[in-house]
Every structure is written in structure tokens, then in C-alpha cells.
Structure 1
């Protein structure tokens, strides 16, 4: 696979394209990887997902939910994307599920703790590459120690960098001699927590190797909802430091459930590839995305998402989002989805996943158009307005009416 930058702007990030050289398939960036669980897009059948988009996709295959498929894949011999029923899609294989918080600790010298549906395992670099050769992904990254976040100690951060360098060397040696992986794009993980010196060391080490096809900025959170709670300024500061030191000709990836506003800020800094774990989390939390992404629209939303579990929607017979063309909004109402959620019907999260996926795919299309038109700052301002309005509304809702007129000094005492 090859990556090419098509449009670059100092203020608006960049638009590029991942191209599979064997077939000529093109994947425009900024790009969304389709997060899967057990090889399937959560809540959506193949037919329903095809109804959502006819565009080719790249599946994010998490080994923590698919490692049990290894023996069957050895016999199948055609790669993970074909095995899970999407032969026309490409695949990206990663270790951890970005939708679920990863346990911390359990480190041993030459292996990474690996938490699967069948319990904890220890994964060495050689064992990891054995699995990768069986899965035959189009894109993958080397094994790494990414067990760091904003609260990690300096000692833990330094150890993660040293261990990741050792894993990288072992994986790269296998990659260079593997006939199975010779056409696969090999991503190098950049670790080091929120320590700029450690990040620089990690970048300097992997940048020496021309075989590296892209970079994955990792070790910023422990996955799951943890990624949505990272202080935005801290995230921007460390990612900006990394991007400035990385090769501009190669794609940069960040996995995790980053919020729409965080995604926009990261794209402005130069990050190219994300995943759909945020969509999964909003859908399972009974939320429907309604934030604005169309600069030309006359009617504006003052919310990022609606909590459709709220009683206020029990008799609201309007769609999740007026004007949305997705199947959920065309055929169903907030009241019906509220009823499905209350009765714990599986159709509830299915309809939310349909809407949220459609909304996010359109959001990324708008991002690419805004970058091409040098209007990404305006889009960031638009989404920031939705977030600000929603934050104020939530804070107001938390204040008990009896305290609204109490003097600040009285409350403090």
C-alpha cells in the first residue's frame, strides 16, 4: 500500500489517499477504520452496513476479540477480511479493543499482557508475528507496550519506550523476511505517555527504518471511555510535538474513542486515521449524535448528542435528527427508540448505531471537503459551539433548583 498527500494546509490539516497497489482501491484520508468485535461491525449485519455506505472500508480487527479464530484461519488461508465475510474490504489488525478499557499492569520482561475473551495471555513478539502471518492483514503495527496515560510515572513511561523498541526490532525482522506480509503496510507505534523527551526518543528510533509505512501515536489512554475524558490541551500539546517530528510523507494514526471536537483538533495537527469506537460507545450509551458539520446549513443544533433514554423523549414523535437521510431517522422516532431502550430491546442500539454511523461518515466527508476548501477552523468552531452549549445545559441540569439562588459563599461553607 502507498500513501499520498493531495491537499495540505497549515491551518486545516491535510487530505490524502491510501492506495492498495494491487487493486488500485483508494481510501481518502482523514479516514475512519471500521471497528469490529469478533470480526463483525457491532449491531450491524453486512446487508445493513452496505445500505449505509457503498464505499470500500478498512476493517479494524482486534486480536483481543478474534484470537480464537487462528486455527480456523490457518485452514482457510485467505485472510481475516474474507473469513469474516468482507472479501472486498481491507483489514487492519491491532492488539487491543479500543471500545473496552484495558487493564493496567501485569508486565513481564519479553511479553505484553493480552486480555481475551478466554482470559489473560502473554504475547511475545514472535508469537504476535505468528498470528499476524495467519491473519494476513493489509495493515498492522508492531507489538508495543502502550500501558501509559496522563497519570503514568516517568519510570513507567521510560520502560514502555524501551520495551516497545525491543518489540519493534523483533517484529520488523520478521516483517522483512515474510513473504506473506511483503505487501502489508507496517506501522510503527510511537509511545512515551505525555513525556515529550520519551516521545522524541521513540520517534528517533523508528524513523531510522525505511520499512516503516506509517506511525501510530499510542499510549495516551487505556481505551474505552477513558479516551473521551483526556484534557484537550494536554492531548493537543503532546500530539503536536509528535507530528512535528514525524515524517510528513507517511500517514499518522490514532486509535480510540476521541470526541468529535478532539478528532477535529487532531486532524488540524496532521493526524490522518481514526476508528469508529466512539460511535459504538455513543450507541451503547443510548445517545444519538446530532452535532452540526454542515457549514452551509441554516438550522443549527445546540447539542452534541441526545440521551434517548431520557423520559422527555417518551412522547417525541420526531426523528433523532431532522433532515437526516439514514434509515433510523426516515422510519423511526425518538419515542420509539426511547421505548426500545426502556424495554431493553436489541433494536434500540441497532437503530442508534445506524444513525450514528451515518452521521459520522458524513462528518468525515465534510471534514475532507473543509480541508480542501481551507475551512477546517470554521468547522471546529461550529462543533465547538455544539459542545459548549451542551456542557452548559448539562451543568445547569445538575444544579438542584433549591440551590440556584444561594450565594456562592454560603455554598462553600
Structure 2
């Protein structure tokens, strides 16, 4: 795999990933959107529906936590997870956890990580992890990582996360070298250390000594799921700046999780290259249709209609005061409209005026509201089709903005849109 940066606007980078051994003709432009999967399928979408959204080359994010129980079957199949899932024309990237689902905190073992599957907690050590990678045969994968370092983590917890990550990275590197199946597969190193700059730099220095990293995954700022939507940029930015300054510029940087569109643009502006589509999926899960302006093009302007106001996102401290809050209450819904709301009972407009996706061309808000109110399976399908289409176009808009040195203008457009929806 090769990574080339072809354009830089301040710190934001436009480039491409290419020369994948399994699909050599694939060229993926960055900033890149990973298509998030669960159980080797994009949530709510069959292969045919996914093809209706996009026929381009894409990199599928394959969380091991959703696949580990099937690793033996995939290994017996012998051709890897892409072909096993009927998605052989897509590239695959294996991750440890599912960025769209909160990872339980506090379950730490000396020699293994905890994967919370439908069958319960499974402990995975480096040998088992590499064995799973050999079964999945991904086009690239990340090393084992301890990223359990939310903002309130103690110094002891942060230090242990780095120690464990470095130990596992070293073992994964050696096991990969000795694997006939994986020896030529790109492996991404994980950078942990929470919000402690000293520990982050210690992690980076040790990872560099190991060598062989094809890129870097910035872990440990959140614990996946909605926690990623609550990132405090004022806390993240100074740590991230030190991290990225210390990393090689010729390798891609990855940031997992459903960060908000504004924070995503801020991450791009700092030099992050790869993200995932969990934000679009979680919006569909709670009945939301993404409506935020996704490019600087005139036909992608914010809706001219008066939208219902949305309360500001609660802080982590406020969340802790009420552990019974559900996903809807803790999610930042300013970027979407809630199709479960009776407000849309008789609204005959498409989800987003001017959107060319299948859902917007064929169905109305009223119809999707009815589907959600009656818990019909088609409801989340139509929302996921729209949200993924909208999010893919968002990344096209970001790449165009970088090439035209207009990323700051796109961020300002989003911030203006958000400000009009806040109570």
C-alpha cells in the first residue's frame, strides 16, 4: 500500500491510498471515509442497496468484535472476510473494537483485550488476534490496543494503556513477520496515552523504534459510541497537535468514531486522513435523517425551512448525573431531523430537498415517519441509504474544499447552520 499527499491547505491534506495487493487498480482519495460494518455487512444495507448508493472503490471497516465468533468459519472458508461476505470488490480494514458501539470501561487484563460480543466477553491475546487476522485476510489491519483512557482517567491508567499497547504492538509485529499470510499485509500502529502529552510522545517514540508501521491510528480520546460525539475540542486539540507533529508526514493517520461533522473538519484541518461512517449509522439507528450542509456548492446549502431547535450537547459531567439517559438523550441531534417526531406526520417533502439519493427521490418524510412510528424494517433502511449517501458526499465536499483552500469556509458554513438550530 502506498500513500501520497498531493495537496496541503495549511495542515489539511489531500492525498490517495493505492497499490493494494488484492485490488491494485483501487485508488482511494483522502480524507477518506471508511464504510462501517457490523458482522461484515454495512448496517441495514444489502449488497444491492449498497451498490445503489455507490459503485466506487471503498475501504470497509471490519471490527473484530463483531467477527471474532465467526473467525473459525471464515478460516475454514479460506478466502478471507471480503469474499466470505460477498464483498470481494471492496477493500477491508480490520479494527479491534467497533467505533460505533461504546466499549465498556475498566475491564483490563495483563495479556489480553476484552471483546464484548453477543455471546459475552471474550479475551483475545496477541497470538489469538493474529490468528484471527490470518483467517480474515484483511487488506490492512490495526495492532492490538488499549484505548480505555477517557478524559477522567488516572495517570496510572494512562501509563498502563501505553505499556500494554506497546507490548502488544511488539508482539503483533513479530507474529506478523513470521506469518506467511500476513507478512506483506499493511499494519497500522496505534498511538495511545489519553490526554497526557508525555505518555503520547513516549508511545510514539517506542512505536517508531518497532518500525514497519504502514500508518497510525490515534486511539484513546474516547471509548467509542456516543462518547466520540462529545469530544471537547479545547482538550483534544493541544494533545493532537503534539501527536501529529511527532508522526511522519508520509504515512496516513486514522481517527475512529462518530465525531460530529464540525469536529471532523477540525481533525482534518490538523492533518487526520481517515475516518469512519459510524456517525451516519448512529443517526439512522435513532431515527434521524442527516440534513447538515455537506459541501460549499450552492445546491448543498442549509435548508431554508425553519427547523425545530435542538438542545446543546450535554457535557460528560452532566451525563454522569443521570445514568439512565438513553441514546437519544445523549446524542447531539443538531445535524439531523428526527423522523420519529409527529411533526413530520403529514410532511410530503423529501428528507432533504435536492438530494439525489434513492430515499429522497422515492419517499417523503411523512412515509418514513410512518415506518419509524410502526417499527417497520424499511424505516432504518431508507434512513441509512440517505445518511450514507449524504456522508459520502460530505467527504467529497471536504476533499474539494482542501484542493480549493476553502476548508475553513466549509467549517464556518457548518457552524452557522448549527447555531441556527440551538435553543
Structure 1 and Structure 2 fold alike (TM over 0.5): yes
Q: Is the CA contact (8 Å cut-off) linking 2:294 and 2:391 kept in structure 1? A: no
Structure 1 match to 2:196: 195
Structure 1 match to 2:131: 130
How well do the aligned residues superpose, as a CA RMSD in angstroms? 1.3
Q: TM-score if structure 2 supplies the norm length? A: 0.90
Q: Is the CA contact (8 Å cut-off) linking 2:149 and 2:194 kept in structure 1? A: yes
Bigger-Rg structure (1/2): 1
Structure 2 match to 1:41: 42
Q: Is the CA contact (8 Å cut-off) linking 1:286 and 1:341 kept in structure 2? A: yes
**Cα distance per residue 1:4-61 (max 9 Å; x no partner):** 11111215x0111111343231111111111111111000110011010010111111
- 1:192 and 1:268 map into 2 onto residues whose CA distance is 22
Structure 1 match to 2:261: 260
Aligned residue-pair number: 391
Matches within 5 A, 1:49-198: 49-198=50-199
Q: Is the CA contact (8 Å cut-off) linking 1:190 and 1:199 kept in structure 2? A: yes
- 1:304 and 1:123 map into 2 onto residues whose CA distance is 37
Q: Is the CA contact (8 Å cut-off) linking 1:64 and 1:117 kept in structure 2? A: no
SS in 2 for 1:261: helix
- 1:296 and 1:360 map into 2 onto residues whose CA distance is 15
- 2:410 and 2:418 map into 1 onto residues whose CA distance is 13
Q: Is the CA contact (8 Å cut-off) linking 2:151 and 2:195 kept in structure 1? A: yes
Could you tell me which runs of 5 or more consecutive residues in structure 1 were left unpaired when the two chains were aligned.
396-413
When structure 1 is superposed on structure 2, of 158-167 and 69-78 the one drifting more is 69-78
- 1:75 and 1:185 map into 2 onto residues whose CA distance is 23
When structure 1 is superposed on structure 2, of 109-118 and 266-275 the one drifting more is 109-118
Q: Is the CA contact (8 Å cut-off) linking 2:74 and 2:81 kept in structure 1? A: yes
Structure 2 match to 1:7: 7
Identify which of 347, 355, 377 aligns with 2:386.
355
Identify which of 364, 367, 377 aligns with 1:346.
377
Matches within 5 A, 1:282-297: 282-297=283-298
When structure 1 is superposed on structure 2, of 323-332 and 174-183 the one drifting more is 174-183
Q: Is the CA contact (8 Å cut-off) linking 1:293 and 1:382 kept in structure 2? A: no
When structure 1 is superposed on structure 2, of 223-232 and 264-273 the one drifting more is 223-232
- 1:104 and 1:304 map into 2 onto residues whose CA distance is 28
- 1:21 and 1:313 map into 2 onto residues whose CA distance is 46
- 2:394 and 2:10 map into 1 onto residues whose CA distance is 21
Q: Is the CA contact (8 Å cut-off) linking 2:33 and 2:276 kept in structure 1? A: yes
Q: TM-score if structure 1 supplies the norm length? A: 0.92
Structure 2 match to 1:324: 355
When structure 1 is superposed on structure 2, of 206-215 and 183-192 the one drifting more is 206-215
- 1:293 and 1:124 map into 2 onto residues whose CA distance is 41
